[in-house]
Amino acid sequence: MLGKYWALPEEERAAYRRRLREMWNLPESRVPTEPQMIGLLHTYNRGLRQPIFLGGAMGGAKSAWLCMLAIHLCNTIPNNRFLLARKTFSSFRGSTLVELEEQLESMPQVKHWPGKHEVDFPNGSKIVYMGVGEPKQREKLGSYQFGGVGIDEAPEVEHDVVRMLQTRLRLKAAQKANRLILALTGNPYPGWIREDFVKAPKPGYSFVRALTRDNPHLDPRYEADMKAEMPGAFLFDTTVRGNSNAGHVYGTDITEDDRKALIEYLKTL
Ligand SMILES: Nc1ncnc2c1ncn2[C@@H]1O[C@H](COP(=O)(O)OP(=O)(O)O)[C@@H](O)[C@H]1O
Ligand SMILES: [Mg+2]
C-alpha cells in the first residue's frame, strides 16, 4: 500500500522519482530531485491559479523544476500555452533558457524557435518565454491567455507584475484539465514572497524548499565553493531552514482531499 509520499521512507520515495524519470523518458542522469518531485505533486488537485513557490538558494534545482513543469504541462494538456519568464530577458537567456534547452535535447519531437522565443509541441502546446520587468515587454502580452505561468527568480519581479500575469491564467484547455498553474522560484529574501509563502502562508499558497543540498546533481564541492565565494546568496536559505528544523514540512498546507488525490496520482506512476 502507498502511504503519503512524504511519509514514505527515503528509499521508496527515490524509487518513485526514478519511475517518474522513466515514465517521462528522461535521460538516466535526470532523475527528479526530492523538491522537484514534491513541487510537481503540488501542481495536482489544487485551486486554479493558486501559486506554488519553490524556494531556496543557488543550485537547488529550481530553474530546472520550472522547465520540467512547463514541459510536463505542455506534454499532458493539448493546446496548452505556458509562459516562462524572468525579470530581464538577458538573465532568462543566460540561465533558465540554458536549462530548458538542455532538457529539450532528449525531445526531438519538440521544436524550439529561438527567434520567436517559442517552443512547439506536437500536440499544439507551446512554451513562450520573455522578460517581464519592463512595461514594454509586458505590452507584448496583449490579451494573451495562458494555462501556466512560471516565473524564475520571482522575488526580483514586482508583486503587481506577478498578479497581472496571474490574471492571464484563463486558457480553456488548461482550465478543463483543472490545472491553471502559477509557479514561482527564487531565494525567499525579505519581501512579498517571503511574507506570503514563508512567514504567514496565505491559504492555498504552497511553499516547497529546494536547498542546494537537496540537489544530488551538483558536484559535491559546489555548496562549499559557492558559500566561500558569495556567502550572501545562502544567507536567507539558512534562516528559512532554521524556522522549521522539525524536518520535512512539505505539503502540510494542503487539504486532506488534496493529499488523497496526490496518492491516487502516485498510484498511476
Ligand atoms: N533533475 C535533474 N537532473 C539532472 N540535473 C539537474 C536536475 N535538476 C537540476 N539539475 C542541474 O543542477 C544544476 C542546478 O540546477 P538549477 O535549476 O539551475 O538550480 P537553481 O535554479 O535552483 O539555482 C543545473 O546544472 C541543472 O541542470
Ligand atoms: Mg535558477
Q: What is the CATH number of the domain that holds 84?
A: 3.40.50.300
Residue 77 belongs to a domain: yes
Give 176 Cα–ligand 2 centroid separation in angstroms.
Answer: 30
What are 28-49's pLDDT values in tens digits? Answer: 999 999 999 999 988 887 889 9
- Please indicate, yes or no, if residue 10 is contained in any of the structural domains: no
Q: Which residue type is seen at 235?
A: L
Domain that holds residue 170: 33-267
- What spacing in Å lies between the alpha carbon of 85 and ligand 2's midpoint? 12
Of the chain, the end-to-end C-alpha distance in Å amounts to 14
Q: Does residue 62 have its Cβ closer than 6 Å to ligand 1? A: yes
For residue 176, the one-letter residue type is K
Residue 237 domain-assigned? yes
Q: Give pLDDT, residue 223.
A: 83
Please state, as a whole number, how many other Cβ atoms lie within 10 Å of the Cβ of residue 192.
15
d(CA 218, CA 63): 14
Residue 24 lies in a domain: no
CA-212 nearest atom, ligand 1: 22
| pTM for this prediction | 0.89
Q: Does 11 reside within a domain?
A: no
Substitution site in 99, 212, 226 for ligand 1 pocket (most atoms within 8 Å of beta carbon): 99
In tens digits, the chain (269 residues) has pLDDT values of 233 777 788 898 999 999 999 988 999 999 999 999 999 988 887 889 999 999 998 899 999 999 999 999 999 999 999 999 999 999 999 999 999 999 999 999 999 999 999 999 999 999 999 999 999 999 988 789 999 999 999 999 999 999 999 999 999 999 999 999 999 999 988 899 999 998 888 998 999 999 899 999 998 888 888 888 877 666 555 444 433 333 333 444 445 565 566 566 655 55
Q: Residue 33: CB within 6 Å of ligand 1?
A: yes
Distance 264 CA to ligand 2 centre (A): 31
Ramachandran area for residue 257 (φ above 0: left; ψ -120 to 50: alpha; else beta): alpha
Ligand 1 atom with the smallest distance to the CA of 21 is: 1
User: Does 61 contact ligand 1 (Cβ within 6 A)?
Assistant: yes
**Structural domains in the chain (count):** 1
Distance 91 CA to ligand 2 centre (A): 10
Residue 20 lies in a domain: no
Q: Which-ligand-closest: CA of 56?
A: 1
Contacts of 59 (CB under 8 A, 6+ apart): 212, 215, 218, 222, 223, 226
Cβ of 39 below 6 Å from ligand 1: no
Residue found by looking up cell 533558465 in the block:
96
Residue 229 lies in a domain: yes
**67 lies in a domain?**
yes
Residue 125 CB–ligand 1 contact under 6 Å: no
- What spacing in Å lies between the alpha carbon of 215 and ligand 1's midpoint? 7
Residue 158, all three cell numbers:
514586482
The rounded Å distance from CA 186 to ligand 2 centre is 7
Q: What is the pLDDT of residue 109?
A: 96
Q: What is the pLDDT of residues 184-204, one digit of tens each?
A: 999 988 899 999 998 888 998
The burial class, CB within 10 Å (0-12 / 13-18 / 19+), for 229 is exposed
Atom index in ligand 1 nearest the CA of residue 99 equals: 27
**CA distances, 189 to each of 48, 69, 107, 138 (Å):** 26, 24, 35, 25
Q: So what's the pLDDT on residue 140?
A: 86
